[in-house]
């Protein structure tokens, strides 16, 4: 994927998420579908993971894009209270490089202050 196509794809995703992000100011109620438990001052989903994907010419950029994708999806589904990747549990990041482009996959269980 060329840089131009990648930027266009990211812009399209961002525009698609605008309504979800504006609605994400509150919790959505969907978090009630999953079992939760307290973990070190956080309230975390017990066995529900979210994924995020990113690509960039450098590994750090691909990791950042994967985390941003994880955060946006999580905020859209559960609200801003759940979108912190830093606060998430069971985090894992897998990356690979091919043809000068890095691709990364982030996965984690959503958590919020609690």
- C-beta separation of 68 from 52 below 8 A: yes
Average pLDDT, the chain: 83
Lowest-confidence segment of 28-32, 33-37, 73-77 by average pLDDT:
28-32
pLDDT recorded at residue 9: 47
Question: Is it the case that residue 24 has pLDDT exceeding 50?
Answer: no
Sheet of 36-39: strand order equals 36-39, 42-45, 111-113
Give the global pTM. Answer: 0.74
Chain centroid, CA 1 distance in Å: 21
φ, ψ dihedrals at 81, nearest 5°: -60, -25
Helix (H, G, I), strand (E, B) or coil at 102: strand
Q: Which has more pLDDT, 35 or 49?
A: 49
Q: Return the domain boundaries, the chain.
A: 3-25+53-113
Q: Which has more pLDDT, 10 or 98?
A: 98
Q: Please give the helix or strand (H or E) that residue 50 lies within, else none.
A: strand 50-56
Q: What mean pLDDT comes out for the span 18-26?
A: 45
């Amino acid at each position: 994927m060329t840089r131009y196509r990648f930027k266009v794809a990211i812009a399209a995703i961002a525009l698609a998420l605008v309504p979800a992000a504006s609605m994400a100011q509150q919790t959505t109620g969907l978090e009630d579908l999953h079992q939760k438990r307290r973990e070190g001052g956080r309230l975390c989903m017990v066995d529900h993971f979210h994924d995020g994907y990113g690509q960039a010419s450098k590994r750090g950029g691909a990791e950042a894009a994967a985390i941003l994708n994880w955060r946006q999806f999580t905020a859209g589904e559960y609200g801003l209270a759940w979108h912190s990747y830093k606060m998430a549990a069971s985090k894992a990041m897998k990356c690979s490089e091919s043809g000068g482009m890095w691709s990364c996959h982030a996965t984690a269980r959503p958590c919020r202050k609690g």
